[in-house]
Structure 1
Amino acid sequence: MNLENLLIHKGKTILDALQKLNGILYISHISRLILFVVDDDNTILGSLTDGDIRRSLLKNADLYISTGQICNRDFVFERKREGFLDLQQFRKRDIKILPILDEFGKLVKIIDLEVIKSQLPLECMIMAGGRGKRLSPLTDTIPKPMLPLGEKPIIENNIDRLISFGIKKIYISVKYLGEQIEQYFGDGSNKGITIVYIKEDKPLGTAGALSLVDHFETEHILVMNSDLFTDVDFEELYLALIEQNADMAVASTEYKVDIPYAIFETRDTRVLDFKEKPSYVYHSNAGIYILKKELVHQIPKNEFYDITDLMGELVKGGGKLIHNPILGFWIDIGNPVDYKQAQELAKHVY
């Protein structure tokens, strides 16, 4: 949003502020009406909400008091900086809107804590070049990531979730009918982000497209498949990686196997013990990864290469690979049954 809409000069009156707050209702999707009072140099002096105005009117019954007199000068803010910003500390204090100021006290952005879940220092690569043959004929004229799910395409659900975690730059690898994805999202500016398209001339697997990016700006990269429907917590995955000093973190799902027979524990032909119809739970790959950008250099340039190949090399080389379970829902939309299940779930999620 245009930050100018949230600024008001200290010399303006309460009446001016009320008019500006009323205008925000029609030009912004901000979850709380708020203004920031500035001096002649546009330095922030304080915040001003409708509550501040009501309290002033009850005390003074004067619409022409200046905003500089009644603004909250003890407002909560953060300085602009690189790296991870823990938003949970502000949620615990019931902060709804967090202004980010530069070194001169000027407003550079706001974080709407009702909308933004996190501020992760990550760039993302979404793999969206596949043919999706198992969903034919639906994918004969539409790329699988663009199939509708709820009120928007599958891939848009993922992009919007990434945005809610503060991710501002997304690479999308495209091949089959990729021009439809490009035409739909453009450069990402309509969503307030940057989208860069990586065009595959040939199939490059689930990691090969990473080798076509000249330079990643963030120290870690999030990689995910485009055909997922999930409420994965990207912050939890990122913090697990950082806290355990891992080279790569993989989101995982539980896969349960029910054995319909008794399973013997044996030594030669002798039965030592047995379990009647046991169930085994395995952690399986959910198609979402965060990795150190240095690992990209291990990916062969413009060649077919799966991310599981990178995982295998990492483990064999003594690197640290961890997994973090997805506690919410996760569907890999690979066939008509999966797609139907995702469509039904989307009715209850949105």
Structure 2
Amino acid sequence: MLKVEELFIEPSITVLETLRKLDETGQRILFIAPQGKLQAVVTDGDIRKFFLRGGTPDQTVDKAANYHPLSLPVSERGQARRMLQDHCIDALPILDKRGHIADIVFAHGVDVDNRKRVDIPVVMMAGGLGTRLYPYTKILPKPLIPVGEQPIAELIMDRFRSFGCREFTMIVNYKRGMIKSYFNELEKDYQVHFADEEVFMGTGGGLCLLKDKIDSPFFFTNCDTLLDVDFGDLYAYHKSHGNLVTMVCAFKHYTVPYGVVELGEDGGIAAMREKPELDFLTNTGVYVVEPRVVQEMRDGEKIGFPDVIERYRRAGEKVGVYPISESSWMDMGQLEELEKMRRKLENQQ
């Protein structure tokens, strides 16, 4: 049972440390509350807005925090459910007469679903050989590799389905007969269509097969990536910013396991750093895409989707980033990551 105090943070810690704390607690909100008195709240959305304003992970979290948070006095606790619904928030602090946090009411604890609904098509890149998952993919195509009791592709569809998506298209190539058989025989309350890729065209090239078949914005996803995000909020962000493409990126923290030596011009040592730590944003392989991108794809072109994005970016088109925390992204592109995903999903059950 999580204690209220475990969600308290100091305003002087960095944004990166705050992200780690959000991951550790499994919640989407933390509180700046000296001696328990509420001053500000920090949500994953606050941090996302902070980065979009040009903030960096090494800055202190007080620069990202909301110093005008919603709250309720203990005497009005009964209004918590209505306030959570009206303001579409995940948690609400309950304050005593001195302004100290006496309790926190979470939306999931009172059966409130604040997720934004979104019913747009989902396109899944499902035609690759999955060489990094060999020898599994010698027998099964990557979309059908089980993670627990379900294939990864079905798990991904279930995530989108829970937000209202009902129309899926899989771009298939390698062992596509097996993929089609599985989804055609599956009892489901959504539609799955297939686009046959006769030659490998990369993670972006296959979109040319969907010309004149998609006339609305759509989610575009790898078949090996599970995200724990609000897809409705992602779509709303994409539209509000007027992006042609919005890329979902996760913050990664990596410690180089070696001492790093930098060479000087004369061949001597310019600097030495013992096990340096790196922080960076990485592409999760999930996007929101406007239909114009499909119509402008070059027939038969072999190209990765990041290269498609770069082409538009250089042309001055608006391409955006939707940042998420590292723990919100699970990837099974390699055997080691597949086992991590299995363990994490087991722990969530």
TM-score range, shorter chain: 0.5 to 0.7
1:176 counterpart letter in structure 2: Y
Name the SS for the 1:250 alignment partner. strand
1:229 counterpart letter in structure 2: L
Measure, in 1, the Cα distance between the counterparts of 2:264 and 2:137. Answer: 50
Match of 2:335 in 1: 336
2:189 aligned residue (192, 215, 232): 192
Count residues with an aligned counterpart: 244
2:304 counterpart letter in structure 1: D
Residues 295 and 148 of structure 1: is their aligned pair in 2 closer, same or farther, counting only changes over 3 Å? same
The equivalences for 1:17-166 within 5 A come to 89=86, 117-166=115-164
Measure, in 2, the Cα distance between the counterparts of 1:195 and 1:89. Answer: 35
CA shift, 1:242, in A, is 1.6
Question: For the aligned residues, what is the CA RMSD?
Answer: 3.2
Measure, in 2, the Cα distance between the counterparts of 1:307 and 1:148. Answer: 26
CA shift, 1:235, in A, is 2.0
Measure, in 2, the Cα distance between the counterparts of 1:264 and 1:134. Answer: 32
Report the TM-score when normalising by structure 1: 0.61
Q: Deviations over 1:188-245 (max 9, x none)?
A: 7x32222110111111111122111133455312100011133233223212212222
1:201 is aligned to 2:195: no
Structure 2's unaligned 5+ residue stretches are 1-83, 90-110
1:224 is aligned to 2:221: yes
1:331 counterpart letter in structure 2: M
Equivalent pair of 1:118/1:166 in contact (CA under 8 Å):
no
Match of 2:310 in 1: 312
- Which stretch shows the higher mean deviation, 209-218 or 155-164? 209-218
Measure, in 2, the Cα distance between the counterparts of 1:170 and 1:114. Answer: 27
Match of 1:296 in 2: 294
Match of 1:7 in 2: none
Residues 132 and 217 of structure 1: is their aligned pair in 2 closer, same or farther, counting only changes over 3 Å? closer
Measure, in 1, the Cα distance between the counterparts of 2:114 and 2:192. Answer: 19
Equivalent pair of 1:116/1:166 in contact (CA under 8 Å):
no
Runs of 4+ in 1 over 2 A off after TM superposition: 87-92, 113-119, 214-219, 255-269, 271-280, 326-329
Report the TM-score when normalising by structure 2: 0.61
Measure, in 2, the Cα distance between the counterparts of 1:146 and 1:232. Answer: 23
Match of 1:245 in 2: 242
Equivalent pair of 2:115/2:230 in contact (CA under 8 Å):
no
CA shift, 1:332, in A, is 2.1
2:166 aligned residue (140, 165, 168): 168
Measure, in 1, the Cα distance between the counterparts of 2:125 and 2:243. Answer: 23
Measure, in 2, the Cα distance between the counterparts of 1:184 and 1:203. Answer: 22
Structure 1's unaligned 5+ residue stretches are 1-86, 93-112
Measure, in 1, the Cα distance between the counterparts of 2:284 and 2:345. Answer: 19
The equivalences for 1:3-22 within 5 A come to none
Measure, in 2, the Cα distance between the counterparts of 1:169 and 1:115. Answer: 22
CA shift, 1:263, in A, is 8.0
CA shift, 1:90, in A, is 8.9
Measure, in 2, the Cα distance between the counterparts of 1:156 and 1:124. Answer: 12
Residues 115 and 312 of structure 1: is their aligned pair in 2 closer, same or farther, counting only changes over 3 Å? same
